[in-house]
Homo-oligomer: A and B are copies of this chain.
Amino acid sequence: MADKKKMVEAITSRDTDFAKWYTDIVKKAELVDYSGVKGCMVIRPYGYAIWENIQADLDRRFKEKGHENVYMPMFIPESLLQKEKDHVEGFAPECAWVTIGGSEKLNEKLCVRPTSETLFCEHYAKVINTYRDLPKLYNQWCSVVRWEKTTRPFLRTSEFLWQEGHTMHETAQEAQEETLTMLKVYEDFYRETLAIPAVVGKKTEKEKFAGALATYTIEPMMHNGVALQGGTSHYFGDGFAKSFDIKYQGRDNQLHYPHQTSWGVSTRMIGAIIMVHGDDDGLVLPPKVSPIQVAIIPIATHKEGVLEKGKELYDRLKSQFRVKYDDSDQSPGWKFSQYEMKGVPVRVELGPKDIEKNQCVIVRRDTREKIFVSLDNLEAEVEKALQAVHDGMYQRALDNMNEKTFVATDFEQFVKIAEETPGFIKAMWCGDKECEEKIKDVTGGVKSRCIPFEEEHLSDKCVCCSKQAKHMVYWGKQY
């Protein structure tokens, strides 16, 4: 196990320095390379394969709900971006601007899209004429750019990959339902596919999206108690429709403005996977998105029949799972630590003695639990192990979130928790922005995460100003 020790030593321990542990994993597991372009990352094959699995799963969920994919231009003329006042104020400071094209200075500068509401609206104004054209349920997979000063792979980069859904509806109610439906799609996806639990709810006025009437959010907690805004779903009402003059002839023969939503998740989710599930040996990947679900490692490969038997198992499993058969001349120890670093959920070990007994060893990445299984039941046992890994990962993440969720009923208690035990704080709030700002200032960054759909009644008073409380809010620091 000398090899293994050496590899593992190269990673900072998660509890010693979470930030360094994170960047160590990102490099060591070959997810990302830093590029010479400020704030932009290279997503390497192993990282991109995770993204492809995420895309395929989400895309299926979107299409099942009737959404269609489209592609809008990556450039937004300045005048188009300015059509919705709140929206441009929110995004203009983060824009990258193209000012020269084909060796000539442009008459109007073009923003590289930070998000595409304005482009979708410009198109919708042309293709929506009557209620028969509604709803429009469009989605786009693309990259967007938001100029960032300090960046971190997956969590905050000047360019990132995402999907943005943009829908138009006949009624406000239908649009509001869509907003919540898509939040639910994200919640299901996080739980069923990423094995990540989360708090969901509504953002406060202060934290909502530029131009939205309401923003809903999914907020998973990282292992260290810090939140990540994991996905958002916005209800716009007819504000953009008015700014962009989008009208349809209704069933009553009158002209109406349609009602709009948008919703998106991004490559940040890979950051969440790392920080929710990873450990001191590296990545721990949810089986549903892991590029390799099963690594088969033959032991004592010089012994007769081992390599052949390993190949046989590979051939049996590969139609059902994403399998890697590693028959390279590296030592088993090196391979063990390699696939642990890469977070492969299930390892199958096979040596001469196992072959004699018609068995192999299945090792779970999350718990290191080893079980001997008969080769006769291999497919079923691997399936069972993958499900057990998924369930175990979800449960541990849920336990961690629950352990690090606290209640504060007065300000002193709130500040103490915020300083000593990073996590979510449940506390009552009066509804005023000033209290949010005071909390953020005093605690060095704790912000309202969301107002959950089911609020508990913890007290009558705002935790900050002691005035009449309006809502129970989840609070916490964020990436």
Contacts of A97 in B (CB 8 A): 98-101
Q: How far is the CB of A156 from chain B (nearest CB, A)?
A: 13
Query: In the complex, are the beta carbons of A143 and B109 less than 8 A apart?
Result: no
List residues of chain A with CB under 8 Å of any chain B CB.
Answer: 33, 35-37, 40-45, 48-49, 51-52, 68-77, 80, 92-103, 109-110, 112, 119, 122-123, 126-127, 138, 142-143, 145, 147-149, 158-159, 161
Q: How far is the CB of A37 from chain B (nearest CB, A)?
A: 4
Bound complex: CA of A95 vs CA of B103, how far in Å? 7
Contacts of A74 in B (CB 8 A): 40, 74, 112, 143, 145, 159
Query: In the complex, are the beta carbons of B149 and A102 less than 8 A apart?
Result: yes
Specify which of B37, B51, B52, B122 is in contact with A75 (CB 8 Å cutoff): B37
Query: In the complex, are the beta carbons of A36 and B69 less than 8 A apart?
Result: no
Contacts of A122 in B (CB 8 A): 35-36
If A36-B122, A42-B70, A45-B70 are given as contacts, then 13 extra A-B residue pairs at C-beta distance below 8 Å, sorted by A number, are A40-B73, A40-B74, A42-B72, A42-B73, A43-B70, A74-B112, A74-B145, A75-B96, A92-B103, A93-B102, A98-B99, A102-B147, A102-B149
Contacts of A77 in B (CB 8 A): 36-37
Q: Given A45-B138, A101-B97, A143-B142, answer yes or no on A126-B36 (Cβ-Cβ < 8 Å).
A: no
Bound complex: CA of A68 vs CA of B126, how far in Å? 39
Contacts of A142 in B (CB 8 A): 143
Q: How far is the CB of A325 from chain B (nearest CB, A)?
A: 15
Q: How far is the CB of A103 from chain B (nearest CB, A)?
A: 6
7 A–B contacts from the bound complex (CB under 8 Å): A37-B75, A43-B71, A52-B69, A96-B101, A97-B99, A98-B112, A101-B158
Q: How far is the CB of A327 from chain B (nearest CB, A)?
A: 15
Query: In the complex, are the beta carbons of B99 and A159 less than 8 A apart?
Result: no
Name A94's closest neighbour in chain B (CB-CB).
B102
Query: In the complex, are the beta carbons of B48 and A69 less than 8 A apart?
Result: yes
Q: How far is the CB of A114 from chain B (nearest CB, A)?
A: 11
Q: How far is the CB of A134 from chain B (nearest CB, A)?
A: 14
Name A143's closest neighbour in chain B (CB-CB).
B74
Name A97's closest neighbour in chain B (CB-CB).
B100
Query: In the complex, are the beta carbons of B71 and A48 less than 8 A apart?
Result: yes
Contacts of A76 in B (CB 8 A): 37
Query: In the complex, are the beta carbons of B36 and A49 less than 8 A apart?
Result: no
Contacts of A96 in B (CB 8 A): 75, 98, 100-102, 110
Q: How far is the CB of A116 from chain B (nearest CB, A)?
A: 10
Name A110's closest neighbour in chain B (CB-CB).
B37
Query: In the complex, are the beta carbons of A68 and B95 less than 8 A apart?
Result: no
In the A-B complex, the 9 residue pairs with the smallest Cβ-Cβ separation, listed nearest first, are A102-B147, A40-B73, A45-B68, A43-B71, A97-B100, A37-B73, A101-B147, A96-B101, A99-B99
Query: In the complex, are the beta carbons of B44 and A70 less than 8 A apart?
Result: yes
Contacts of A41 in B (CB 8 A): 73
Contacts of A70 in B (CB 8 A): 42-45, 48
Contacts of A93 in B (CB 8 A): 102-103
